[in-house]
Amino acid sequence: MVKGRVHRYGDNVDTDVIIPARHLNTANHKELAEHCMEDIDSEFTKKVKEGDIMVGGFNFGCGSSREHAPIAIKESGISVVIAKTFARIFYRNAINIGLPILESEEAVNGIDAGDEVSVNFDTGEIQNLTKGTTYQATPFPEFIQNIIASGGLLASIRKEK
């Protein structure tokens, strides 16, 4: 379960906006996080706090197949991304690096920037604590929850050995 303040974005937020290509010359996750969302929200890295929540519209994470985008989001302190829909490669990359993501059009429609939201990963329940509303997303199956809890796919494989 996580609880945080919402940073909200619209439809078709692509991976080049999440982490601009000019910053892809590093593999350092903290450096990537320093530039997360800077082209559409220059204040994001100053405002984001550990545990905060990112909310997006349709087709969140469209664009390139690089894992840099979900890495930058996770390393910035975001605990979960909730969107109406995710681009499939971003969805897969997020799971692979251990970034929780949930799809819920209803929740996105009812959540505003700055709202305080809690998410229960076991049940898929999303509560907007600011407005007193509750939404339902489909929770991940246990094996995906284990991947996320382990910090990503490779970490979960190492853990199993």
Looking at residue 161, its pLDDT comes to 67
Residue 64: what pLDDT? 86
The DSSP code sequence of 78-124 is --EEEES-B-HHHHHHHHHHT--EEE-HHHHHH--TT-EEEEETTTT
* CATH number, domain 2-160, options 3.20.19.10, 3.20.20.70, 3.30.70.120, 3.90.1150.10: 3.20.19.10
Domain-wise residue ranges, the chain: 2-160
Q: Is residue 79's pLDDT more than 80?
A: yes
Q: Which residues pair with 60 in a beta bridge?
A: 86
**114, pLDDT greater than 90:** yes
Summarize the confidence of residues 79-108 as an average pLDDT: 97
**pLDDT on residue 145:** 92
**pLDDT tens digit string along 45-65?**
999 999 999 999 999 999 988
Q: Mean pLDDT of all residues in the chain?
A: 95
Mean pLDDT along residues 25-42: 93
